[in-house]
Amino acid sequence: MPTIEEIEHDLQNIDSEIAKIETLISKLRLDQRDLIQRKKTLKNCIHKIRSDNLAHVDWSGTTYAWSDEVLKVLNDVFHIKSFRPKQLAAINCTLSGQHAIVVMPTGAGKSLCYQLPALVKPGLTLVISPLVSLMEDQVRSLTKKNIPAKLMSSSSPKQETTEILNALKDSKTDMKLLYVTPERLAKSKRFMANLQKCHADGRLQRIAIDEVHCCSTWGHDFRPDYKFLGVLADMFKNVPILGLTATATTNVLIDVQKILNILGCLVIKSTFNRPNLFYKIIEKPTSQDECMLILEKLLKGRYKGQSGIIYAHSIKDAEDIASKLRQRKLKVGCYHANLDAATRSEVHLKWHDNRYQAIVATVAFGMGIDKPDVRFVIHHSISKSMENYYQESGRAGRDGLRSECVILYRMQDIFKVSTMVFSATASLKHLYGMVKYCLNGSLCRRLLIAEHFDETWGDSDCRKMCDVCCNPQTVVKEIDLKPHCATISEVAAIAEAEDVKLTAQKLIDAWFLKGPTNVRHSGKAPSISRAIAEDIIAYLLVKKYLFEEFHYTAYSTISYIKAGVNMSEATDDSFELKMPIRKYFTFDLDTPPDMHMDLKDIDETEESPSLNDEKKETKKRSGSGSSKEPKTKLAKPIVIDSDSD
């Protein structure tokens, strides 16, 4: 019989063996994770090489078998003289039978990329689009050009639906384009059966998927029914799929290709620079009245007689702002998701017809806005992400004339948005991208937008069309954050010990030795303005020296600020952190700027003034574009109907 000591010794040996095995297992797990990651990277590499190989082909040539017909249809049917950047490449690629995703900014002319090919080859083009109103507009405009196009949604009259379903099986039908919602595809077996028949007869020419980013949960408009579209590539072999979107982030584009089963397809992307948009940040006052005064001055002064959109954070904010602007005798409509469809259409129409100068809206006012002369988009509160901001502000200046995109920014608004979005994946990262853009006072705003879209634009691409480039600073003032980080982390530690939760405002109070005494620090109050202190807190959040912790109450969610992962470095002697001080550039609220911009120096030959052609684009990107300040001419005001409410 072994002694207890011997057994204990054995047990110790076994424990040490187990520990060794556990170390081995965790190492193997790490190796496994690395291998899985490598496998994923290599697979993506294959898709990228495929995509790059396709990208090396000169798709914008005019020597394809169909090239003459393409030009004829462009001139005779669409009455358009020349292509905009990347349109011809997209058309040639899809006519060659390749799957492709076309990424172009809003208003750049994506629709032509599938509407024109539809008329060049026999057969039907199926267009999947998320919005019925958008499809109605398109079908109306195609019908005006005598192009046989139909649309089918869940609210289409029964007889019309039957006629369309029959046309799918009819080899003699003249229908060239059929617009459907993704819901219709996902839910109607009869539709899918007839579409299969159309395909089996060799008459399904192409599938175009508009707003294709809706497939991806990473996109800003995810629609569950778009997931169903993954079956199309397999079900309709040899039918080219053409996805179209204005969302260019790499994650979304890869995700979309995966979902549609077209990984490695050609991605045709035109530049996202909108040269006619002027970007500006205005410091948002803390008082609501002062804020309304800014809006009033802008609408009665700078944007007098011009049409625009004011985006608000919530339905309540939109209603409030609209009502206060009306009290100030301004003609504005209010638009949000709680209004019934008829009211929404009416508001949209009144704005479209210039009976309202501006529409005060939540982000529900989104896709399908096709007003060309939107001269200003004001964000009363920041957007959820740069992506959202680009889309929302991009509704300005679709006609290519100078238009302004203004954000009223203050720190407090960060938490209005963060408490609303924090539960979604990567939402805070996206929000902080937006905050970074607002805090910036030294870099061209276009540089930050370009960074977001993985593009590189030079100074010449801005041409003084942002507040920073209009007021170039030779020396950018910086503030040393080392002492401030020490104080802020002391306050955070005291609060932790006292079990007190700090909102950003409370944290600033304690830092300035105001508010409750039990969370104040032992040093002096900082000798900086409260506005700079707010910028510092926002900056530290973006840089992960602070983080937000969210707590639910019965009525709302509250964001509390705590020391973040990077704050521990702040006590190191070698620690250095400097923040460029934001300069608030003056902005004339009362006087109209020259809202029309002559783009001659970018584009001398283009029929439409809004975008230049592919050759011009290459010239501009290679650095030979002009960097002169844009020439301007006087704006033509809209006439706001004084009788409408």
Q: Which residues form the interface with ligand ATP (CB under 6 A)?
A: 80, 83-84, 87, 104, 106-112, 246, 607-608
Residue 208 dihedral angles phi and psi, to the nearest 5°: -105, 135
Cβ closest to ligand ATP, residue 135 vs residue 428: 135
Nearer to ligand ATP, 340 or 604 (CB): 604
**What is the rounded CA–CA span in Å between residue 602 and residue 403?**
17
Report CA-CA distances (Å) from 331 to 349, 474, 601, 617, 639.
Answer: 14, 42, 36, 40, 11
* Closer of 242 and 488 to ligand ATP (Cβ): 242
Q: What CA–CA distance (Å, rounded) separates 609 from 437?
A: 28
Amino acid at 426: A
Classify the C-alpha dihedral 196-200-203-204 as positive or negative: positive
Contact call for residues 87 and 641 (beta carbons, < 8 A): no
Distances (CA, A) of 491 to 506, 535, 558: 10, 17, 19
Residue 111 or 440 having the CB closest to ligand ATP:
111
444 CB neighbour count, 10 Å cutoff: 22
Shortest Å distance, C-beta 607 to ligand ATP: 6
Report the nearest approach of ligand ATP to the CB of residue 82 (Å). Answer: 6
Which residue reads 């969610």 in tokens? 557
366 vs 637, which CB is nearer to ligand ATP? 366
Q: For 409-430, what is the HEC assignment? A: ECCHHHHHHHHHHCCCCCHHHH
Q: What is the DSSP string of 132-170?
A: HHHHHHHHHHHHHTT--EEEE-TTS-HHHHHHHHHHHH-
Q: How far is the CB of 237 from ligand ATP (least distance, A)?
A: 28
Intra-chain end-to-end CA distance of the chain, in Å: 100
Judged by beta carbon, residue 392 or residue 548, the one nearer ligand ATP is 392
Nearest residue (CB) to ligand ATP, 109 versus 308: 109
The smaller minimum CB distance to ligand ATP, of residues 136 and 170, is found at: 136
| Cβ at position 397, least distance to ligand ATP in Å | 12
Work out how close the CB of 181 gets to ligand ATP at its nearest, in angstroms, rounded to a whole number: 16
- DSSP summary character for residue 520: -
Closest chain position to ligand ATP (CB): 109
**Sheet order of strands, 100-103 included:** 149-152, 177-180, 124-128, 204-209, 241-245, 100-103, 266-269
**Cβ–Cβ < 8 Å for 321, 295:** yes
Least spacing, CB of residue 611 vs ligand ATP, in Å = 8
Q: Closer to ligand ATP at the Cβ: 400 or 526?
A: 400
Q: How far is the CB of 371 from ligand ATP (least distance, A)?
A: 11
Question: How far apart are CB 214 and ligand ATP at their closest, in Å?
Answer: 12
Do β-strands 241-245 and 149-152 pair in parallel, antiparallel, or remain unpaired?
A: unpaired
Closest distance to ligand ATP from the beta carbon of 609 (Å): 9
42 SS3 class = helix
Beta carbon of residue 140, minimum distance to ligand ATP (angstroms, whole number): 12
Q: Which is nearer to ligand ATP, 80 or 531 (CB)?
A: 80
